[in-house]
Structure 1
Amino acid sequence: MARRVLIADGIATNRIAFKAALAAARYEVTAVASAAEAVAELALGRDDLAIVDGGLADLDASGLTRLLAARPHATPPCLVAVDDDSTDIRASWIERGAAGVLLRPVDRPWLLTHLRALLRAREAYAELSRQVATAARMGFAESPATFERAPVMAVVANDRAAAGRVRRGLDTRLGARLEALTPDQILGGSESTGRRDLVVLADEGEDSLWLLSELRSHPGLKRAAILVENAADDGPRGTRALDLGANALLRRDAGPRERAAIIRRALAQKLELDRLVHQLDANLRMAARDHLTGLYNRRYAMQHLADLAGRTRADGRGYGVIIADVDHFKRVNDRLGHAAGDAILAEVAARLQSNLRGHDMVARIGGEEFLIALPDTTPAQALIAAERLREAISSRPIYAAGEAQRITVSLGIACSSDASPDMALQIADAALYSAKAAGRDCTRLGEAPRPLHPAAAPAAIAAASLRG
């Protein structure tokens, strides 16, 4: 199903231009001429995003600005198109709840880049919300505990002057301090000591984009809100930053008010995601978690996979399933003992978890077997994810029984937009068997099986269930 975008603009030619640009990118567009009509459309709950003319005459009277100022993620993110590019104008819209401000005439690639970034953030939140709902349907929901803590934020730059420029005037506006760090300092922290809620990358050039990619794979920073400072006239670099996973851009000419507004919004969204993760973990810690690894258990994984497959069939987007199996694990247990085997499984689980997106799901479904569910994923993306997981396990030894052990995994992948959970698991299982037959420590992408003659089915099912 195409993503739905609401256009609210009082000028017909503007609505036509937006609609043409978005329809060409396969968005489904609804266009209205007033803020009142926009409020009525948003109430239907069909839209994923909104683009609003900042000059609509009935904007405040309609209540649209009150909708924008609602709790993060409560309404679809909204981009506001304006004719005045001053920092105070931009700041005022961010303070009123806009996800971003675009200067007319709006460049089409620039617009589409912002939409992609906003959709990724919205989908990540929606996926976590669905996981909380899955727990509720399984009877594991509890009243959410209060989740409050002081945010930890940093400005990262090699140049102290660049860090000072970003920090200037922010301490009093934010009520919290942004620590100044170098790239080496922030990358050198462990998962616990290096954790940050929000990071601003203030260096110019490509170095900060390289650092952005590194931070997105850092265990303590992969869920941080990351802002990239960018020159107003450097659209290509801003586009790359957003596509690499930046939550927002911070214009280099932004005043303290605008910088503070953007940071507050990004931080609020990040903490809202943390609240969901905290609630989900509290609900499922005992009932749906594997006691050894802390991952989800088989019962939760099967329910989650059924929900994911149902959503995928409804909206037409693909999902991926990966089955990962530790190679020769029985030999490891026999040689080192079960305590060492347990330690190895716990470390494998930790590496799998730390190399996935925040809204992916990983579960332990058997002794040495793990299931990974990837929402909104193509076969190419699933292959990349599986290879990243394989390398995360094999690239560094795991220490157990007082010595370094080289542990590898084999992975089988299924990726589809219409396969049932049972079929996806059969495809991934057969692909895993193929990976083991190919020598282990490799990845294979499965294909949907051709219809079998009834007499051949038992033999095929038996072959697909073999383990090396």
Structure 2
Amino acid sequence: MMLKTTVFFEGVSVGMVGKILIVDDVATNRIVLKVKLANARYQPVMAASGQEALDAIARDTPDLILLDLDLGDMNGIDICKKLKQNPKYSRIPVVIVTANTDRQARLDALHAGADDVLPKPVDDQILLARMRSLLRAYEQDEELRLRDATLMELGFAEGPANFAQPARIGLIAPNPEIGVNWRAALRRQMPHDRIDLLGQHDALNVATQANESGCGYDAFVIAPDLSMPGEGLRLMSELRSRSRSRHAAICIAVPPGRRDTIAVALDLGADDLLPDTFSAPELAQEAGLRLKRNLARKRRLDQQRATLAEGLRLATIDPLTGLFNRRYALPHLNRIASESRQANRDFAILILDMDRFKSINDTFGHAAGDSVLVEVAKRLSQELRASDIIARFGGEEFLVALPNTSLEQAGQIAGRLCRVIEQQPIALPDNHNSLRATVSIGMALGGTSDPDRSVDTLIEMADRALMYSKAHGRNQVRILRAPNAA
């Protein structure tokens, strides 16, 4: 069966994703960075002063800020402090890009909340790798924060804050002497935490054997090269793949000048980078500061995950498919719409309906129909991003919300969802029969094109588009716009 994906663009322009605010009082610096980021498919926004930057952040919240330390009207550290003290902006990643090589200035910037400090002239490979790492973490933060806020709206109180127990930190150094030096330096910065020297096999063993009583490690500091070059990075990948160590904070201690190693470490999942030697007091302070910050983030995310898991278990999960239910989806969708208006972003709503589902129940029985719904839900979920939401909206109907998504991107995703359902037959519980299922999809776009359009109206539009999809042959995507859209 051929997939027919019908998409009506009606002159809608497609923009880049990843809005990056560049703050520098030198026009040449701003322009050079703008070109580099645009070539990497980011959406650069520029500000020439501290006040311009604050106005731009309030007007159109960026995903990441590249901030010069010395501006004409105010200091970059003061701007960073203002942002980190404001709950609305405190989680936006901030990278200080400066020609100031003073070690104390670097520490002051990190104390103020900067996520990193990079020297000018900026190394393109390291800058882009650091941005990718921070944007991934920011998306994860926003996903959990958004879901947490939705649970609060549903009436589930935030879970009690856990008392911060001393952290357990594992050091995997290239040799025992370096490991002992690392531990001595970190113990001066973090006297209440437990710091252990581990071999790489020890690290994997404790990651595998860790249990709910908390015998696992909260953070690891790993040298990129152990007995062989790159072995520390492979160890990090192993730790990220194991459920008990997946959410640990992992910092790679990289020697200066190893630009390729830095970029690879960040892209493989390192949370942060540390200097490879802690002999100087300033380097030890920086290492301790970075570790403490990553541990605090790890604890916060752990708490949010626990709260989310309990709330979802109680009231917001469809028991058959394991997806969110309508009760969760609607307030979450309203929150996506509200935040899209504030950030001047588009988002999309998809309504998906199984084609000829009644005939499946009539021919094979309701148990077979249920197994088909479970498999369809699984396939749809695997094709979506972490920030997207999918819910069983009722019967054989599903709702998908795609935040920060252009019309073209939403059309591509919707077409892919059709294909992933159609391509492989679905086995039935009798182990003898299988069938090919298809879905029809209706879509509506919200956000910048009509910020006053309500979520209810968008759902009605998507539902109407779904009816067109059904009426014109099924197994296709239809996208409609509001009559008053520009």
TM > 0.5 = yes
**Residues matched between the structures, number:** 391
Deviations 1:253-291 (A, max 9, x none): 451111111112222222222232233234334223578
Does 2:198 align with 1:181? yes
CA, structure 1 residues 375+224, in 2 after alignment: closer, same or farther (shift >3 Å)? farther
Q: Secondary structure at the match of 2:95?
A: strand
Match of 1:4 in 2: 19
Aligned residue identity for 1:418: A
Residues in 2 aligned to 1:211 and 1:173: alpha-carbon distance in whole angstroms: 26
CA, structure 1 residues 62+159, in 2 after alignment: closer, same or farther (shift >3 Å)? closer
Match of 1:42 in 2: 57
Aligned residue identity for 1:15: R
Residues in 2 aligned to 1:61 and 1:53: alpha-carbon distance in whole angstroms: 6
Residues in 2 aligned to 1:52 and 1:136: alpha-carbon distance in whole angstroms: 34
Residues in 2 aligned to 1:357 and 1:220: alpha-carbon distance in whole angstroms: 23
Aligned residue identity for 1:36: Q
Q: Secondary structure at the match of 2:136?
A: helix
Say what the alpha-carbon RMSD is for the aligned residues.
Answer: 4.9
CA, structure 1 residues 307+236, in 2 after alignment: closer, same or farther (shift >3 Å)? farther
Residues in 2 aligned to 1:376 and 1:456: alpha-carbon distance in whole angstroms: 29
Q: Which structure carries more relative contact order (alpha carbon 8 Å, separation 6+)? A: 2
Q: Secondary structure at the match of 1:219?
A: coil
Match of 1:280 in 2: 308
Match of 1:230 in 2: 254
Deviations 1:351-375 (A, max 9, x none): xx9xx99878799999xx9x99897
8 Å contact from structure 1 (residues 156, 199) kept in 2:
yes
Aligned residue identity for 1:186: A
Match of 1:259 in 2: 287
Question: More displaced, 81-90 or 13-22?
Answer: 81-90
Match of 1:168 in 2: 184
Residues in 2 aligned to 1:357 and 1:185: alpha-carbon distance in whole angstroms: 34
Does 2:117 align with 1:101? yes
Q: Secondary structure at the match of 2:67?
A: strand
8 Å contact from structure 1 (residues 305, 373) kept in 2:
no
CA, structure 1 residues 217+291, in 2 after alignment: closer, same or farther (shift >3 Å)? same
Q: Secondary structure at the match of 1:153?
A: strand
2:28 to 7, 10, 13: 13
Aligned residue identity for 2:106: R
Counting only pairs closer than 5 Å after superposition, residues 47-196 of structure 1 correspond to structure 2 as: 47-60=62-75, 63-70=78-85, 74-85=90-101, 87-137=103-153, 139-150=154-165, 151-157=167-173, 159-174=175-190, 175-188=192-205, 189-192=208-211, 195-196=216-217
TM-score (ref. length: structure 1): 0.67
Aligned residue identity for 2:30: R
CA, structure 1 residues 209+40, in 2 after alignment: closer, same or farther (shift >3 Å)? same
Deviations 1:2-34 (A, max 9, x none): 222112212222122112211222222222222
Aligned residue identity for 2:234: W
Match of 1:325 in 2: none
Does 2:272 align with 1:248? yes
Q: Secondary structure at the match of 1:223?
A: coil
Aligned residue identity for 2:163: E
1:201 to 222, 226, 239: 222
TM-score (ref. length: structure 2): 0.65
How many angstroms does 1:436 deviate by?
3.9
8 Å contact from structure 2 (residues 349, 399) kept in 1:
no
The gaps in structure 1 that reach 5 residues or longer are 323-333, 335-344, 379-415, 462-468
Aligned residue identity for 1:200: V
The gaps in structure 2 that reach 5 residues or longer are 1-14, 353-366, 368-373, 443-467, 477-486
Deviations 1:87-139 (A, max 9, x none): 444322211211101111102222111111111110001011121233244x2
- Percent identical: 26
